[in-house]
Structure 1
Amino acid sequence: MDQTLTLSGSERITVIESTPSRFEVEATYEPQGEKPPMHMHPGHAEEFTVLAGVLRVGYTDQERDYAAGESFEIPRGVAHRMWNAGDSTASVHWVSTPAGRVESFFRAMDALHRAGTTSLMAKAGVLRAHSDVMRPSSAITRLLVQVLGALRPTPTASPADVQPQGADPMTFRRHLATCLTFLLAAMIGYVGVSYLIDPGGTAPGFGMAAWPEGDAAAFLATKGARDLVTGILPLVLLFTRQRRALGWAMSIIAIVPLLDAALILSTGGSTAMAIWVHALTAVLTLGTGVLLLTERPKHPAAAANTTVPAQVSAPA
């Protein structure tokens, strides 16, 4: 297994020791390197000793340069970032305790560079899968990681698995199901917010021949509240990776626009709205649910590799 890993365009590490209690590396930072975002580590602390050059460390309220021979610690949960702002290469001895899944995170980042897929969405997928190792300090950035990471599955950290291969139909289906879930949930949530903010102005677009007005329009706000919650539920299941539960939820939610279409048609409302908005939404939502429910595990080969005990012949 390769012991030299690329973490960014200007940062590489060489693994020295990897045990459950300790992950030890020597890191190299190129001159004028990119400044990473502020982040923290919820499950481990870090110890650094600068071996050569100067390493700049940014904290919440200050920045400090550490020269060769100086050491410092980053306790778990403390926001920080580090880079080489100087003109010569910096090398650092770096120990993470306990090791947890630190090595898994680093190898996943290295896999992105080996595969040439270092986009923001790709990195978000790795961060989302390793939130126990590294989390952005900004709440907005954490939300962005969750959204983008949900749309991009985490690449394998094994270099052997990043070689060019044929397209995997199941991977495409997972991507499609994830994108449809996000778009449908966002659309439903948007409709809910619209009914809460402007119920009278939103109701005519529903397709009914008539709708509540005056004081009775307050009923439209209750529809908005329910739509908003209906849009939030799939996102929660998506971000928490409960994909099978999400499949059942989407399949059940599909009943709502289907009933809406039936009610519009039965009360003399707009046929076009009933079919091309509500019925189509029902079909897309149900289709998404079916895609999710028929997904295979991401790594089915693991089951195939399970060792089957050899049969023992009975004594003659």
Structure 2
Amino acid sequence: MTTTDRQITNPRSGQRMIFRTTGKETNGALLEIESFNPSSKEKEPEHIHPNQVSSLEVITGKIHFYINGETRVLGPGDILEIPAGVPHYFWNEDAAEAHTIQKFTPALEIEGFFRTYFALARDGKLNAKGTPNLVRMSLPMLNYQNEIQVVNPPWSVQKIVFTILSPLARLLGYKQKYE
């Protein structure tokens, strides 16, 4: 991976990620990301990582975390570990950019999900809420179901809908992965 391959930017949100250690480099054991999140009241969808422990350490700034029904504000030096399957989301409503280190264990294919999502943002394929349309989303969400799942509606409902829509997505030329 070249230096430029290590960094991705979401032009919609301004979030920037640098892949410090990849799953490929660790035989799937770990993905470590340096993340920079500008101030925004916009929150990502509540989601889970069904098969991964994720953690976050705040380097500078503050990050707001909603985890398992509780809001927490984390500052420099704070560390949060999220067990697999626990609903959460984060945002930065502080004036300063938040700089964090995120880890995913095992790495699985979460790097591919982030690259796909940021590429969709780069190409203007996200709506005002920051998500692609259901048809376009069907293939990536099925592809990355072991890494990430939105909490509502329940995954069983989403999986049925995505499975039904996936042939149309393929017909329209949509992909499982974008770069």
Verify same fold: TM over 0.5: yes
Distance 1:133 1:156 in 2: 14
Structure 1 gaps, min length 5: 159-316
Higher relative contact order (CA 8 A, sep 6+): 2
The TM-score with structure 2 as length reference comes to 0.78
Cα 1:62–1:146 change in 2 (3 A) is same
Contact 1:111 1:156 (8 Å CA) reproduced: no
Distance 2:138 2:94 in 1: 28
Partner of 1:81: 89
| Counterpart selection for 2:146 from 111, 115, 132 | 132
Aligned residue pairs total 158
Distance 1:12 1:124 in 2: 25
Distance 2:15 2:156 in 1: 23
Partner of 1:196: none
Contact 2:140 2:177 (8 Å CA) reproduced: no
Q: Report Cα offsets for 1:17-74 as digits up to 9, x if no partner.
A: 1131010110111102420111100111111110010000002321010011111101
Structure 2 gaps, min length 5: none
Q: Which moved more, 1:123-132 or 1:65-74?
A: 123-132
Cα 1:63–1:142 change in 2 (3 A) is farther
Give the CA RMSD over aligned residues. 2.2
- Identity of aligned pairs, percent? 24
Task: Tell me by how many angstroms 1:154 deviates.
Answer: 2.7
Contact 1:136 1:142 (8 Å CA) reproduced: no
Cα 1:6–1:146 change in 2 (3 A) is farther
Contact 1:39 1:136 (8 Å CA) reproduced: yes
Hey, which of these two has a bigger chunk of helix by percent?
Answer: 1
Task: Tell me by how many angstroms 1:106 deviates.
Answer: 1.2
The reply on whether 1:31 has 2:39 as its aligned counterpart is yes
| Counterpart selection for 2:6 from 3, 8, 16 | 3
The TM-score with structure 1 as length reference comes to 0.46
